[in-house]
Structure 1
Amino acid sequence: MRVAFYGSSLVSAYWNGAATYYRGLLRALASRGYEITFYEPDVYDRQKHRDIDPPAWCKVVVYEGSVPALKRAAAQAAGADIVVKASGVGFEDDLLLKEVMAAARPTALKIFWDVDAPATLAILRALPDHPLRRALSSLDLVLTYGGGDPVVRSYRAIGARECIPVYNALDPQTHHPVAPDPRFAADLAFLGNRLPDREARVQDFFLEPASKLPDRRLLLGGAGWHDKPLPGSVTYIGHVPTADHNAFNTTPKAVLNISRASMAENGFSPATRVFEAAGAGACLITDAWEGIELFLKPGEEVLVARDGRDVADLMCSLSAVDAKQIGQRALSRVLGEHTYSHRAADVDRIFRRRVQNPEAAE
């Protein structure tokens, strides 16, 4: 089956947290015989910061960030059996949804794929006349990056025919254990861009505990933190390219996951970094959120912190041996249950059932 997928970027992870998700899932679908074309706009300097070449398993079409170019790209949806418009494309999202779905054949499966459901739903609740909200009833399906039952119920309540979560996962070809790299030597490391929806939680879960751990080495990676006051125990290293993520996760004693506020409040929303870290065999400490046990077992495969004090206490009691064992158990769990091959098998069933019977529901 031919898939036309309109998203933020496949070839660049620059200010594009969905890149890992797209790459892992679409590569796994391609291995199942799907012919995929990924359409992405040339915006936010992403094309200047490509971290992969266009892959053999997916055709990538980059279009200029202009309305005429958008319309030309959207028209190509007419040749697909499955048409996907993702959230957060980054250029004229509402117009893109309208143009893509108008171009799609009547028999095509029409999908909105939300890679930030809590944020999207907050907007849709506040704006009953939002173009996406008006379009929901005409779409066959909403797929989401996560969110569990709360997101499913919310989407159904505002008009979606059906909503199914497709969670993040591990791509073992991309994220795996590697040799330690001295550049990333640390007791605790956190990697994440500076975002309004995350900054207060980074302060609480990383910077505050860092101030209580003056004799430890803490590492902060990600864009935008250059002018943020940091405790003396924290070293800021800026943007970390995707190619270095394995070493960043493998080298420190432990790595920290801090969910954005909306994701933490909703629950059931593991970040891609959770699976990247587990796939590298890292000892992961995550902020607490509902549903973590569906993916990793607290206390055995992941350490869970309710606040910054918990983070500091965990770091004071965590031995190198225990950290290694936690990381190995996490790696075994995600390889056995949470790879993109597992997710693609689920998506394949969803697609095929609906292409054969558009009225089908899970």
Structure 2
Amino acid sequence: MKIVIFGMTISSSWGNGHATLWRGLCKSLIRMGHDVVFYEADRPYYAEMRDFAELEGGRLEIYPDWDSVRARAASDAADADVAMVTSYCEDSLEVGRLILEQSRALRVFYDLDTPVTLARLDAGEHVPYIDAASFGAFDLVLSYSGGRSLGVYRDRLGARRVAPLYGHVDPDLHRPQPAAAHYRCDLSYLGTYSDDRQQRLVELFVEPARSCPDRRFLLAGAQYPQEFPWAPNIYFVRHLPPAEHSTFFCSSRLTLNVTRGPMAEMGWCPSGRLFKAAACGVPLISDAWHGLDEFFKPAEQIIVAESTSDVIAALDLSDHELNAMAAHARERVLQNHSSRQRAAEMVALFEQPFAPRQVHHLIAEG
């Protein structure tokens, strides 16, 4: 297939989770023999933190503005087997119209920010990357979340055919390796600052640090404000490029996942950091959310924490207990949640026999 993707970014991992997901997916798709073209708008905040310059075996188009690339994009879309636009694509509405106007390619929308999208819709807010009037014309809608969110796309936005496409990890990049002294810690957390998970981050990371002054805590991520409630034993890495993720995780005795508010409320939306850390063989601790047990078995493959005391109790577990849990989680992720597995799921959805312009009755019948 020729697969043309119009996305937020693949070239910079700064302040977003899209880039590493697309790198793993595109690499896997190319290895499977597909022709992949990725379009992204050139923006200063990504250009300054660009850590991926070439889509090996495919084509990366970084364009200054939509008018300058419209003709080339239209040509690619018209020649494609699959034309896809994603959430937070810089020119999503114009791209959506271009995709829907062509008649050859399967027309796909992939929401990598499903909980945020649906929370904004519930609040009556404008979602800049969705045109509700034409959303139902897409042949396939992919959702980063499963569960009840799939029904919302059908019932609220008129989506014809919806399927989950969850996060994943590239085992070529995320695997066990030696620890680095400058990243060594008892508990790590990797994630961009977000207001809607700040309270949980305080409960599950900051408060345990204050309660365990002899332990070392390491936080990595962008956009943290000056007023963040730091503690003397919390150390900070402002930007951690993907090439450093494995070393970061492998230097942690335990690593923490904290889910954004809308994601936790919606459920069935595993963060990519869970899969990355597990692939590195690092013990996991996470806040609770609906559907978590569909991806990891609590107490066997992951520790679920509801409170500060739960995190402290996890830190008190023996290395033997933690390492056994990490080994089970790594086995689960390599089997079910690799980028190659997710790419195969994506292609299977593209290839499913159906009449793209006449599927309303299929949705109605489930």
What TM-score comes out, normalization by structure 1 length?
Answer: 0.92
Equivalent residues in 2 for 1:94-173, closer than 5 Å: 94-102=93-101, 105-125=102-122, 126=124, 131-145=130-144, 147-158=145-156, 159-173=158-172
Q: Is the 8 A contact 1:198 1:260 kept in 2?
A: yes
Deviation for aligned residue 1:129:
9.9
Q: Is the 1:226–1:236 contact (alpha carbons within 8 Å) kept by the matching residues of 2?
A: no
Q: Is the 8 A contact 2:37 2:58 kept in 1?
A: yes
Superposition pairs of residues 42-53 of structure 1, within 5 angstroms = 42-53=42-53
SS at match of 1:246: helix
State the one-letter code of the partner of 1:153: G
List aligned pairs for 1:274-353, cutoff 5 A. Answer: 274-315=274-315, 317-353=316-352
* 1:18 pairs with 2:18: yes
Counterpart residue number, 1:174:
173
Q: Partners in 1 of 2:197 and 2:54 — Cα distance? A: 31
Write out per-residue CA displacement over residues 278-334 of structure 1, whole angstroms, 9 at most, x where no aligned residue: 01000010111111111111111111111333212222x222222222111111111
Deviation per CA, 1:117-176: give whole Å up to 9, x if none: 01112233425998522122111110012x212111111112110110011122111111
Matched residue type, 1:344: A
Q: How many equivalent pairs are there?
A: 356
Q: CA deviation at 1:218?
A: 0.6
Residue identity in the other structure for 2:131: L
Following superposition, the deviation at residue 83 of structure 1 comes to 0.6
**SS in structure 1 opposite 2:148?**
helix
Contact 1:63 1:73 in 2 (8 A): no
Gaps of 5+ in 1: none
Identity level (%): 33
More moved, 249-258 vs 235-244? 235-244
Tell me the secondary structure at the aligned position of residue 163 of structure 2.
Answer: strand
Counterpart amino acid of residue 105 in structure 2? A
Q: Distance in 2 between matches of 1:82 and 1:110?
A: 6
Please give the per-residue CA displacement for 1:70-123, whole angstroms capped at 9, x wherever unaligned.
53454232221211000012x243333223433xx2132101100010111223
Tell me, in whole angstroms, the C-alpha distance in 2 between the residues paired with 1:157 and 1:223: 36
Q: Are the structure 2 counterparts of residues 137 and 128 from structure 1 closer, same or farther at C-alpha, using a change threshold of 3 Å?
A: farther
Change (3 A) 1:136 1:356: closer
Report the Cα distance in structure 2 between the residues aligned to 1:294 and 1:119, rounded to whole angstroms: 21
- Runs of 5+ consecutive residues of structure 2 not aligned to the other structure: none
* Match of residue 55 from structure 1: 55
* C-alpha distance in structure 2 between counterparts of 1:73 and 1:115, whole Å: 25
| Cα RMSD for the two superposed structures | 2.1
Q: Which residue of 1 aligns with 2:67?
A: 68
Would you say the 8 A contact 2:35–2:58 is kept in 1?
Answer: yes
Q: Is the 8 A contact 2:197 2:259 kept in 1?
A: yes
CA contact 2:8–2:88 (8 Å) conserved in 1? yes
Q: Tell me, yes or no, if the aligned pair for 1:8 and 1:16 is still in contact at 8 Å.
A: no
* Aligned partners of 1:9 and 1:41 also within 8 Å: yes
Structure-2 separation of matches of 1:204 and 1:354: 48
CA contact (8 A) 1:40 1:61 kept: yes
